[in-house]
Every structure is written in structure tokens, then in C-alpha cells.
Amino acid sequence: MKTFSIGGVHPHDQKLNTEAPAKVLPLPKQVCVMVSQHLGAPSQPIVAKGDKVKVGTVLTQNDAFLSAVVHSPVSGTVNKIADIPDASNYPKPAIFIDVEGDEWEESIDRSPEIKREITLDGPAIIQRVKEMGIVGMGGACFPTHVKLMPPKDAKAEFLLLNGVECEPYLTCDNRLMLDHAEEIMIGATALMKALNVSQTIIGIEANKPAAIKHMTEVAAGFAGIKVQPLKMKYPQGAEKQLIKALTGRAVPSGKLPINVGCVVDNVATCYAVYQAVQKNMPLVQRMVTVTGPEVPEPTNFWARFGTPVSEFIAAVGGLPENTGKVISGGPMMGKALCSDEASSVKGMSGILILPEKQAHRREVYPCIRCGKCVEACPMGLEPYLIASSAAVKDFGLTEKARVMDCIECGCCQFTCPSNRPLLDCLKIGKATVGKIIRARNAK
Amino acid sequence: MANNNKWVISGAPHVHGPESVTKIMWGVVIALIPAFLVSFYFFGLRALLVTFVTVVSCLFFEVLINALFFKRPGTLRDGSAMITGLLLALNLPAGIPLWMAAVGALIAIGIGKWAYGGLGSNPFNPALVGRVFLLISFPVAMTTWTLPRPLFGGGFLADAVTGPTPLAIAKEGLKAGQSVGDVMSQLPAYSDLFFGNMAGSIGEISAIALLIGGIYMLCRKIITWHIPVAFLGSAFVFAGILWCCAPDKFMDPVFHLLTGGMMLGAIFMATDMVTSPMTCGGKLIFGCGCGVLTILIRTFGAYPEGVSFAILIMNAFVPLINRACKPERFALAK
Amino acid sequence: MNVTIIYAIVLLAALGLVLALILYVVAQKFKVEEDPRIDLVSDALPGANCGACGKAGCRAMAEAIVKDASLTGCPVCNEENIAKIAEILGRVAEKSEPRVAVVRCQGGTCNTTPLVKYEGYQSCAYATSVFPGEGGCPFGCLGLGDCTKACTFDAIHVNPQTGLPEVDPDKCTACGACAKACPRGVIEVRKKREKTGRVVVACVNKQKGAAAVKVCKVSCIGCGKCAQTCPKQAITVENNLAYINDDLCVSCQLCVRACPRNAITVLPKEKLRPAPAPKPAAAPEAPAAPAQA
């Protein structure tokens, strides 16, 4: 079975609810839709207080190339535009909408049957993907239409679908592949048409045998789509590692996947592309895993964007008594939340509730130079060296130690027997060195 | 919020692997058990007494140095001082005066470790610093070896008898102009060497016990195979080349592997995480250097045994090796 | 025996002579002509090598001072230093008012309610990328002491009682390293005003009133009362935050009393004059409280 070659760790996968069917989260009374839910230039709201909106009404505007619009996930009245903390815990502008009924824009096809025939041509598909506000749903929120328009000197050869879900606890992609395999395949076919490529490889880790089996069966009916089971290893879902595992190609430092002829999309993104291209449905909801070791019934919810975290928590029976940490995303790369006010966004794949005893950082010992971080780093870096040089502000050495190659996967800190805050220091180093490099290039 | 706990905020990752310093240290202690059982079997209570003294004095000096110079409670919980004490004991002869063992512990902890800033900052293996200090300062006591007396075979409480180690026999014999064959006739059989029935330090005598410990550490992933294999392999090959050139002047490679501190050094001393290189390539270079230097010192040097010196010399090269041997980078020209 | 000793003495003496000769020749040959004033200026500088001037060290600064102009290029120099350098170079010392670092936040643990607990690398630069702060203020001091680490002069320390850094004005040299190290720009270097006290808006929160009130008991809400009170128009309110222009401020302390949020303070605290009697006749120049700390 394939996997990537350098480094990686094996966290306990903790997939607590692989069997449970997905539920639809009831509409909350009020949603808070974050104005900017993508990587790139921030958007501006184009609705005002008192405006009536339907599901699918465009809420924001942005003329930048690297951007994505946001559609109203509910129908109702705009209550206000105010700041609420997002997953970064900082207050960011959000559109508060009081929910009234569930009325959709007429242009959206809500019929349950699966539409297999793709009538749009390539450029029209890309245009549709852009209009429907689709971004990468693995967590980075990179606008998908940008990926579909490779620079002139690069040619895509492969479409790679990420069904790896290497983060422990999260199961939403697994559920999606079991429930909507055919839609994912049609979405992939549309993406292939847009990119003008003939091969798609779907990477799925071995801990999801049911998904591998089901997806392989469904893929047999589609030309050019292949399912590739992968050995379990974190961080296989990282773009560079996934490309390495599936195609054997290595994206050089500072380059993009397209430079080695690959375009990588998450299976959830692919499903959203299907909805957009075939059903004209904007991205207004996603599957969110609400889980945790002490959560009585971990569940995957279909939820509209803007649903407050508190609603998700209430839907699984409230916070367990001993909750110590609530994380947006998975335990390896997710962000700890300060409060349950934050609302769901396009990139939020899960809400992880950790009990008190698992919430704390462990006591830090001196570095014993065991080299386990070097062994674990999937980019072949020396985290101990980068972290210590960044901690003493020797950013020249930090840069020379290739900090900019760091993908912030957290393997080094996960494996460190001295519990050192390696990734914390690496991130400081990466941010500072990034600034230094930009200043140098600006000169 | 539904409960009164304050939520914890920290950066990713929010889960941690099973490894910890404490687990590693206790793993080493467990790996040392077979070696101690053998030493108890051959050297009796005296071996345990020396060990007790080194361990207790190491712990004591750790606390003392922390209290005196850093004004803080000792750092005993990481277990490193205990390991230093255990490893130091393994490197001492069973008959050493106990006060000397305590002095060795002071040097190991004080000079070997805390003078450089404590755990993780020391360039040299503290236990070996202690041993070499004793060897140079008290050469007679450090080379007066108790002959092994199996626990159930002879008088348990009778006075200890001393004698030379196989390496000393070989060194003296070859220096006096005897042929290898003559020397070999004065030595115990290889099977005795393998199981530990020879004169030597408390922990170095039994190759099999040390190998068992080594395999345990390999399985627990406390050490990797690189250093022991490179160490033993390069020593074997180098000694083998010498032996092939002049079989009646040099001891055969198997003899070198089974005698002295070779196994102890390769499995427990050279693999010390703090004082060995980070990358696999670096570890191989480090191990090879140790092996070749050991044979060089044993064959051409003044001392019959060279493992400690070889490891300490190579320790000094670790920063250079770390600079030279970088891990395989992702997507960089191969 | 004697011969040996004589040999040794002669040999060593000869050796010493030869080596001394070599050293002398080499020293003469490779001599670098250097302005002797550089050494003198270098000695007159504080010699902390703190890097606040932006040069590689005090010697580099001395070279710069000798070569071009400003005597106040070293922000750490006090008047005494500058006078000395001026004397060496035969220039006139420019007047410079002593300055000191000021922490513009009063949140800490005393005026905000910690809602969460931060664990991880104890560095403000990192913590600020993870969350706004234990009390929730996205602008205020995080209290993890990046300023303390940056200070070469041991002049700024986080008070464990308040969770806020405090500047020791006697040790502070106004080099600005702490201000540069603070990821949130909480610290500013301002005029020292030893006689009258430094009046500062001790808040950097740019949130709107309601949000600012929610996170902190002493936050600036940008109400503008201080700006209206100020007789010198030294105060501007921008982005819901008042700021006192250091050059215009006359330390009259009227704004301190006008602030409904107690966000404007006088440093050191002993310089805070009691509110004048309700009679408007009460002179604002009432004698200051005793300066004894």
C-alpha cells in the first residue's frame, strides 16, 4: 500500500462515529455568517440591516481574483452586521440573519435525483464554481476556481482527490464518501472537464475500508477515476504528502502542486462542485463532525454556515461536565476556541470537545536531542534546530534551516518526548522569516 | 459556557504522542536489568553496593548542585541523574573503594552534566566523564578487577580475588612478545566471554545480557540500530583487517567484540541521545568512528581498553556531524 | 644541571626576542589608521551593545557619530554621555529631553476577567496568533513578557500581581527594544516629565464602545470627553481610541479627571494631583503631591 516516504507519525485515529448516519442540524433561530470565509482578499457585505434574503442570495462582494463570495445559508432578515470571534478567536465582521422559514432562490435545483450528464463546458464550469463561492473544504479555504485556472506555463495531468482524512477524530469526509459517492464522482468528472485532464486518483487511508470499497465500486462506472488506498500515516492529507503518496512526484520547495502537474481537491469540495455545476446550488452548508472522547453521541451534522458552535454542542447533548478544550477542526491542526460564540464556516470540518485531562499541555523538559522530531518531520527538516534558533531570535539560521518549507503539521511537537513547544516556535520563526523575505524582495 | 472550567487555549497540535522523557529513562533502566543480574551473579553483593553508592550520590549531587547554583529544587523527576548513576556503576570495577565511586558521581554530574547546563546541554556522556576521570586519577583502583565467582559455585562471602581482564592479558602478552596463540591459551573460552565469566567492570562482562537490553530498547524505539551496528560492525571489520594482515600479532575480531566495554559502549554508552547525532547518517558515522577508534586505542595505544575514550572523542565531533549530516529533505535534489 | 637551566633561559629569551620582533614587524605592516576619537567616543557611549540605534554595536555607533552628525543617535545616552561626546568632538550638545518606555494597558488580571487559560510557548509574539488574550481584549497586553526578554537593561518586568509589565524609570534608557518586541504595540517611548508626570491613555483598544467595555473595566471607548477637555488640543480620537500627542501635552491632568473609564493615567502614580475643589477658582497649578516614591 502506498504512502509518502519521509517522516510522519501515527496518532491514534479515534474515529468514534464511522458507523453512525449523518443528521441534519435543525435551523437555528439566528445565524452569524462570517463575511470572509476564504483565503485571500477580504470581502465586503452587500446587504444591510433589514434586507430580506433567501437561501442562496449573495451576501458579499469581492473583485479580487483570489476571493470567493458568500451566499446566504438561510432565508430571513438581516438583523445586523457586527463583529464576532471566528476560529482565530479574534472578532471579525459577520452578517447576523434572523431565520424565517426555509425559502430558497428559484434558480436552485433541489430535486433529490442525481443528475449525471454534464452540460456545461470547461470555462462555464469554472465560472459556476466561482459564482457559487466554492473554496477548499479541507480547512485552507483556498478559492477553488483559482486552482482550476493554472498559469499558462503549467499543465495539469492529474486531479487528485483527498479522501485521506488523516486527522484523528474527524469522520465527515468518510461519511460523505459513503453517502454521496456518486455525486463526488460526477463532481470529479466536472473538475476533470474544467481542467482538461483525463485521470483522477482518489486517495483514501486504510482505516476507512467501507469507504474504499464503496468508492471503488462507484468509480468503476466513471471513466478515468481510480481509488487508491493509502497506508495510515499523518500528515497524508497535506497537499505535498498526498501528491507524493499518490503519484510519487515531489513538489519542490516554494512551488505549487500545478508545477508537477497535479491539482488537489478535497472530496467535500468535489461534492460542492457537483451541487454547484449540476444543481446550481451555492455553497451554503457542509458536513461537520461533532466529536470528543466524552461526547455521548459523536455525530456528523449537515449544517448551514453561520450556525453557532453552541448549537452544535447542544445538538450532541451539551458540553460534558469536564470539558477542558473545544477545538475547531481536528486535534493535530485545529484551533482551540475561546468561546462557543464562533460560528461554522466553509472550512470548519469538525468540532472536537476534549475533556480537562486531555486539554492541557504537558510539562516541558529540556531538549534531550533524541532526534525524534527530525525523524518525524515529513518535510525532512530539523525542527529542534529551527525552534531553538527562532526562540533565540537567530532568524538567519532559522531561514537557513529551511523554515519556509514547514507545513505546520505538528508531527514534531506530537512526537517530542520532552513535550517542547516546537511547533509554536516554528510558527514564530516562519512568520518572522516570511516578513524578512518579503521585506528583502520588496527592496 | 455550560460549566465553570476555563477552556484551555493553546496552539496545535492538541494531542501528544506516547513518548516522554520519563518513559525513555525508565526504559533504559529496564534494559539494564539483565546486565545487573549477571553482575550480581558473578560479583555478588559488592556490585549492587557500588551501584547503590553511585546512584545515590548522583541523585544527591544533582539536588545539591541545583540548590547551590540554581536555587531551585532538583530535577530528579526526569530520571537522568539515576541513569547516569547506573551507567557509571556499570563502568566501574566491583572492587572499587566506595568513596571513589562517589567522587566519580560528583564528576559525572558536576563536570559532565551541570557544568554545561544540565540535561540536554552536555556534549560528553556524563557517566563516561566520571569513569575516565577515575581511570586517570586512580589508575590502580580502576584496573584492579575482581575475578568473577558464580554466586552458587563458590564461597558467597569469601574474600574477592583479583586478576587482569582478558584485554589486559592480551595487551601485556603481546607487548612482551608472546604470540597470539600463547595469549589465547591464557584466556577464558569465548563462550565464557559471551556469558560474562571474565574479569571486568560491573556491567561490561556479559555480552548476552547487554544484547538482551539492547534488543529491548530497539523494540521500545529508545535507540535505533544505527549506532550499535555501526560501532560493532566497524570495530569487527577494522580488527578483522588487522588480523588478516598479521594473525599472530593482532587479536581476532571476535575477541574484540566480546571483551571489555565493547558491548556496553555500543549499546548503552554511545547511544545516549544527548551526546549522539540526530540523523541516521550521522549516527552511522558516529558509530563507525567509535568502533575504529576503539580498536586503534586497544591495539596501538597505551591503555588496554579504549571504548570510553573512543566514545568521548566522537562525542566532541557530534556538533560537526550534526552540521554535516542533514536529513533527507522533501523534494530536494537527491 | 646548571647547563640545562642556562640553556632553557637562553633558549626562551631568544625565542621571546624573535617572536616579539615578528609581532612588531607585522603590527607595523598591517597597522590600520583610525581616528583616535572613535575610541574616546566609544568609551563615552553606554557600552551596552543593545542595538537600539540600529548599528551593530556601540563601536559602530561611535564611528557613525565621529563621521557624520547627530549626537543623539544613541537613544540610550543620557545628557551626561552626550555632553561628554560633544566635548570630545568639539561640538555643541543638542538638547534632548529624557524619555522612558510607557506601558499603555491597564487590563492585566486586575481589570479583565480571564475567560480562558493559555498554555504553550510563553511568548506574546506566538500567543497573539492563537487568541486575543485571556480576558478577551484583542489589543491589550498579553503579559507573557516579550518586553522583559527584549530589555538589555533589566528595566521592565511583568508584575505577577497585575499580570502587566512595569517599567523601572531609573533603569529604562528609552532604547525602545521593548516597544519593538511587543507584538501589539502596547509600549510607547514618551517624554519622561519627571517633575509633572507622564499623562497617557493607558489603553490601545480600538473596538467600539460596547465591545471595549465588555472586555475590560478601564478601556478607552473613544467617547472624546478628554479631547473636549484638553486646553491644548493635544488629544485626538481615532478608531474609537484616544491618543495624547506627547509634544503638545502640558501635563495639566484635566483629561485624567474627565475620562469616565479611568483609562487615562499619570505615571508615576504619585504625580496624580487630587481633583481640585469644586470651586472653579481652584488653581489647576496646585502643588503636586510629594514626589517621594
pLDDT digits (tens, 9 = 90+) for B301-319: 888 888 999 999 999 999 9
What proportion of chain C, given as a percentage, has pLDDT over 90? 47
Q: What are phi and psi of C108, to 5 degrees?
A: 55, -150
- Decide which of A229 and B303 is more confident: A229
Neighbours of C86 (CB within 10 A): 15
- Secondary structure (3-state) at A439: helix
Q: Which chains touch A (3 or more CB pairs under 8 A)?
A: B, C
Residue C65 has a pLDDT of 82
Q: Are strands A299-304 and A285-291 parallel, antiparallel or unpaired?
A: antiparallel
Q: Would an 8 Å CB–CB cutoff place C113 in contact with chain B?
A: no
Whether the pLDDT of residue C280 is over 80: the answer is no
Between chains, do B8 and C121 touch, taking CB under 8 Å as contact? no
- Identify the closest residue of chain B to C126 by CA–CA distance: B11
Chain A residues with CB-CB distance to B7 below 8 A: 323-326, 336-339, 359
Please tell me whether residues C66 and C105 are part of one structural domain: no
Chain A residues with CB-CB distance to B285 below 8 A: none
What average pLDDT does the segment B84-94 reach? 93
Whether the pLDDT of residue C43 is over 50: the answer is yes
Residue with cell 544533582: B62
Q: What are phi and psi of C116, to 5 degrees?
A: -135, 175
Distances A221 to A116, A216, B82, B304 between C-alpha atoms, Å: 11, 9, 65, 75
CA-derived radius of gyration, chain B: 21
| A239 neighbors B330 (Cβ within 8 angstroms) | no
Query: Which of the four pLDDT bands, split at 50, 70 and 90, describes residue C276?
Result: low
Listed in sequence order, the residues at least 6 apart from A194 whose beta carbon sits closer than 8 Å to its beta carbon are A122, A123, A125, A126, A129, A148
Q: Are strands C156-159 and B145-146 parallel, antiparallel or unpaired?
A: unpaired
What is the domain class of A122-279 according to CATH?
alpha beta
| B275 neighbors B319 (Cβ within 8 angstroms) | no
C-alpha cell at B140: 590502580
Please tell me whether residues C80 and C105 are part of one structural domain: no
Q: Using CB atoms, pick whichever of B15, B278, B332 lies closest to residue A371.
A: B278
Residue A362 Cα, gap to closest chain C Cα (Å): 9
Whether the pLDDT of residue B75 is over 80: the answer is no
Give me chain B's average pLDDT, please.
89
Q: Using CB atoms, pick whichever of A85, A90, A427 lies closest to residue C126.
A: A427
Residue with cell 530536494: B332
Chain C residues with CB-CB distance to B10 below 8 A: 118-120, 130
E strand segments, chain B: 7-9, 145-146, 162-163
Mutation target among C115, C116, C119 for the B interface, most CBs of B within 10 A: C116
Residue A275 Cα, gap to closest chain B Cα (Å): 33
Residue with cell 557544568: B115
Q: Which chains touch B (3 or more CB pairs under 8 A)?
A: A, C
Question: Could you tell me which residues of chain C have a Cβ less than 8 Å from any Cβ in chain A?
Answer: 115-116, 119-121, 123, 125-126, 129-132, 136, 138, 207, 211
pLDDT digits (tens, 9 = 90+) for A167-216: 999 999 999 999 999 999 999 999 999 999 999 999 999 999 999 999 99
Domain interval for residue C84: 36-89
CA dist., res. B289 & res. A290, Å (int): 54
Amino acid identity for residue C133 in this structure: G
CA dist., res. A170 & res. A17, Å (int): 9
- Secondary structure (3-state) at A168: coil
CA dist., res. A205 & res. A201, Å (int): 13
Helix (H) or strand (E) holding C67: helix C58-67
Could you tell me if residue C22 is inside a domain?
Answer: no
Whether the pLDDT of residue C56 is over 90: the answer is no
Please tell me whether residues C51 and C150 are part of one structural domain: no
E strand segments, chain C: 99-103, 116-118, 156-159, 164-167, 187-191, 198-201, 235-238, 241-244, 264-267
Residue A52 has a pLDDT of 93
Residue C138 has a pLDDT of 93
pLDDT digits (tens, 9 = 90+) for A30-77: 999 999 888 888 889 999 999 999 999 999 988 888 888 999 999 999
| A260 neighbors A250 (Cβ within 8 angstroms) | yes
Please tell me whether residues C69 and C114 are part of one structural domain: no
Please tell me whether residues C113 and C250 are part of one structural domain: yes
Chain C residues with CB-CB distance to B11 below 8 A: 120-121, 126, 129-130
Please tell me whether residues C121 and C223 are part of one structural domain: yes
| B116 neighbors B123 (Cβ within 8 angstroms) | yes
- Decide which of A424 and B71 is more confident: A424
pLDDT digits (tens, 9 = 90+) for A324-372: 999 999 999 999 999 888 999 999 999 999 999 899 999 999 999 999 9
Candidates C177, C171, C183; CA nearest to C142 is: C183
| Domain CATH code at residue C72 | 1.10.15.40
Chain C residues with CB-CB distance to A89 below 8 A: 130-132
Using CA atoms of B279, B281, B284, B289 in order, give the dihedral in degrees to the nearest 10: -100
Please tell me whether residues C123 and C261 are part of one structural domain: yes
Residue B79 Cα, gap to closest chain C Cα (Å): 24
Between the two ends of chain C, the Cα-to-Cα distance in Å is: 74
Please tell me whether residues C245 and C217 are part of one structural domain: yes
Residue A172 Cα, gap to closest chain C Cα (Å): 25
Whether the pLDDT of residue B154 is over 80: the answer is no
Specify the DSSP class assigned to residue A260: G
CA A289 to chain centre: 12
Candidates B128, B105, B41; CA nearest to B314 is: B128
- Identify the closest residue of chain C to B5 by CA–CA distance: C116
| Domain CATH code at residue C111 | 3.30.70.20
Give me chain A's average pLDDT, please.
92
- Identify the closest residue of chain B to A317 by CA–CA distance: B2
Q: How many CB pairs under 8 A join A and B?
A: 159
Distances B171 to A111, A391, B148, B193, C86 between C-alpha atoms, Å: 92, 51, 20, 17, 75
Residue C277 has a pLDDT of 60
Between chains, do C130 and B8 touch, taking CB under 8 Å as contact? no
CA dist., res. B157 & res. A316, Å (int): 71
Please tell me whether residues C60 and C187 are part of one structural domain: no
- Secondary structure (3-state) at A62: coil
What average pLDDT does the segment B234-248 reach? 92
Whether the pLDDT of residue A278 is over 90: the answer is yes
Could you tell me if residue C2 is inside a domain?
Answer: no
Listed in sequence order, the residues at least 6 apart from A299 whose beta carbon sits closer than 8 Å to its beta carbon are A17, A20, A22, A23, A289, A290, A291, A315, A316
Neighbours of C290 (CB within 10 A): 7
Between chains, do A338 and C116 touch, taking CB under 8 Å as contact? yes
Chain B residues with CB-CB distance to A418 below 8 A: 20-21, 120
- Secondary structure (3-state) at C290: coil
CA dist., res. A398 & res. A388, Å (int): 9
Chain A residues with CB-CB distance to B5 below 8 A: 322-324, 356
Q: Would an 8 Å CB–CB cutoff place B136 in contact with chain A?
A: no
What average pLDDT does the segment B314-327 reach? 94
Amino acid identity for residue B99 in this structure: W
Whether the pLDDT of residue B239 is over 80: the answer is yes
Query: Which of the four pLDDT bands, split at 50, 70 and 90, describes residue B160?
Result: low
Could you tell me if residue C219 is inside a domain?
Answer: yes
Neighbours of A41 (CB within 10 A): 14
Q: Using CB atoms, pick whichever of A319, A360, A379 lies closest to residue B3.
A: A319
What average pLDDT does the segment B252-280 reach? 92
Mutation target among A338, A422, A425 for the C interface, most CBs of C within 10 A: A338
Candidates A136, A127, A129, A116; CA nearest to A223 is: A116
Between chains, do B12 and A89 touch, taking CB under 8 Å as contact? no
Domain boundaries, chain A: 27-99, 122-279, 285-359, 372-442
Q: Would an 8 Å CB–CB cutoff place B23 in contact with chain A?
A: yes
Which of C89, C116, C151 is the endpoint of a domain?
A: C89
Chain A residues with CB-CB distance to C115 below 8 A: 338-339
pLDDT digits (tens, 9 = 90+) for B95-133: 899 999 999 999 999 999 999 988 889 999 999 999 999
Residue C129 has a pLDDT of 92
- Identify the closest residue of chain B to C120 by CA–CA distance: B10
What average pLDDT does the segment C229-252 reach? 91
Q: What are phi and psi of B154, to 5 degrees?
A: -125, -170
| CATH architecture of the domain with residue range A285-359 | Roll (3.10)
CATH of A27-99, one of 3.40.50.300, 3.40.47.10, 3.20.20.70, 2.40.50.100: 2.40.50.100
Query: Which of the four pLDDT bands, split at 50, 70 and 90, describes residue B151?
Result: low
- Decide which of B2 and B203 is more confident: B203
Between chains, do B11 and C130 touch, taking CB under 8 Å as contact? yes
Could you tell me if residue C228 is inside a domain?
Answer: yes
Could you tell me if residue C139 is inside a domain?
Answer: yes
Could you tell me if residue C17 is inside a domain?
Answer: no
CA dist., res. B101 & res. B58, Å (int): 10
Mutation target among C109, C112, C113, C117 for the B interface, most CBs of B within 10 A: C117
Largest CA distance in chain C: 103
Q: Would an 8 Å CB–CB cutoff place B2 in contact with chain A?
A: yes
Mutation target among A424, A427, A428, A430 for the C interface, most CBs of C within 10 A: A424
Model-level pTM?
A: 0.88
Query: Which of the four pLDDT bands, split at 50, 70 and 90, describes residue C282?
Result: very low
Chain C residues with CB-CB distance to B7 below 8 A: 115-117
Between chains, do C119 and B10 touch, taking CB under 8 Å as contact? yes
Question: Could you tell me which residues of chain A have a Cβ less than 8 Å from any Cβ in chain C?
Answer: 83, 85, 89-91, 335-336, 338-339, 360-361, 391, 421, 424-425, 427-428, 431-432
CA-derived radius of gyration, chain C: 27
Please tell me whether residues C80 and C147 are part of one structural domain: no
How many CA atoms, within 13 angstroms, populate the side-chain half-sphere of residue B46? 24
- In terms of Cβ atoms closer than 10 Å to its own Cβ (0-12, 13-18, 19+), residue A358 is middle
pLDDT digits (tens, 9 = 90+) for B6-49: 899 999 899 999 989 989 999 999 999 999 999 888 888 888 99
Distances A104 to A74, A75, A108, B177, C8 between C-alpha atoms, Å: 8, 7, 7, 102, 106
| Percent helix, percent strand, percent coil in chain B, to nearest 5 | 60, 5, 35
What average pLDDT does the segment A252-279 reach? 93
CA dist., res. B229 & res. B236, Å (int): 10
Mutation target among A370, A382, A397, A419 for the B interface, most CBs of B within 10 A: A370
Residue B153 has a pLDDT of 53
Residue with cell 597470539: B180
CA dist., res. A132 & res. B171, Å (int): 84
Chain A residues with CB-CB distance to B330 below 8 A: 6, 240, 244, 250, 253, 378-380, 405
Residue A366 Cα, gap to closest chain C Cα (Å): 14
Count of domains observed in chain C:
2
Mutation target among A374, A404, A405 for the B interface, most CBs of B within 10 A: A374
Residue ranges of alpha helices (H) inside B73-138 are 80-90, 98-106, 126-137
| A35 neighbors A308 (Cβ within 8 angstroms) | no
Between chains, do C119 and B9 touch, taking CB under 8 Å as contact? yes
Please tell me whether residues C110 and C255 are part of one structural domain: yes
Please tell me whether residues C76 and C154 are part of one structural domain: no
- Decide which of C1 and B136 is more confident: B136
pLDDT digits (tens, 9 = 90+) for A123-173: 999 999 999 999 999 878 899 999 999 888 888 999 999 999 999 999 999
Beta bridge partners of B146: B162
C-alpha cell at A23: 443528521
C-alpha cell at A202: 482518489
pLDDT digits (tens, 9 = 90+) for C136-189: 899 999 999 999 999 988 999 999 999 999 999 988 888 888 999 999 999 999
Q: How many CB pairs under 8 A join A and C?
A: 42
Between chains, do C211 and A85 touch, taking CB under 8 Å as contact? no
- Decide which of C84 and C188 is more confident: C188
Neighbours of A144 (CB within 10 A): 29
Residue ranges of alpha helices (H) inside C154-252 are 177-181, 209-215, 225-229
Between chains, do C131 and A89 touch, taking CB under 8 Å as contact? yes
Q: Are strands C156-159 and C164-167 parallel, antiparallel or unpaired?
A: antiparallel
